[in-house]
Amino acid sequence: MKFYFWFFLLFILQCATYSTSSYSQFEQEKLVNLSSVSSNQLSLLTTRYLKSNDLYDKFEKNPLVVIYDLDNELITNKSRNLAYYLAELCYLTGNSLDMEDFQFAKMYASSLVYAYTYLFDKKARRRTHSPRNSDSLCPLTIAL
């Protein structure tokens, strides 16, 4: 009986999609505090969201398409976490654009609107944390 238990447990663990990485305390603090405002890179939370939804490579190739798609999802779902991700994506995209580009001001204004939605919109809902939903935000990691 124990053999079947251990066999089943090992079989289940082989199917797991989670991985772990070891970081020193200072590396972990640096990664947690990383954001588009402080380092011109995406935060760990936004990067994890994009990668888990297969949008990371698409965002690097064409950020505006990903932003518009996520904006449509935000209109449908009114998720605070999604507003946070969009605020950061718009800010980073605005930083990468030339000041003469007509999208430059639009990206910064959109970033402001999404940040406001994340912080103050009472209709936006925050997801509850669960082991399968690892994109809940800690209030201490907000950089906007």
Token duo for residue 139: 């209030």
pLDDT digits (tens, 9 = 90+) for 7-54: 666 666 565 555 566 767 666 666 666 665 666 788 888 999 999 999
Q: Are 89 and 70 in contact, with CB atoms under 8 Å apart?
A: yes
pLDDT at 97: 87
Strand partners, 125: 79
Token duo for residue 102: 């007509």
Strand partners, 35: none
Label residue 102 by pLDDT band (50, 70, 90): confident
pLDDT digits (tens, 9 = 90+) for 109-143: 999 999 999 999 888 777 654 444 444 444 433 44
Closest Cα to residue 118, out of 70, 80, 76? 80
Domain ranges within the chain, ordered by starting residue: 35-123
Q: Residue 122, Cβ neighbours under 10 Å: how many?
A: 5
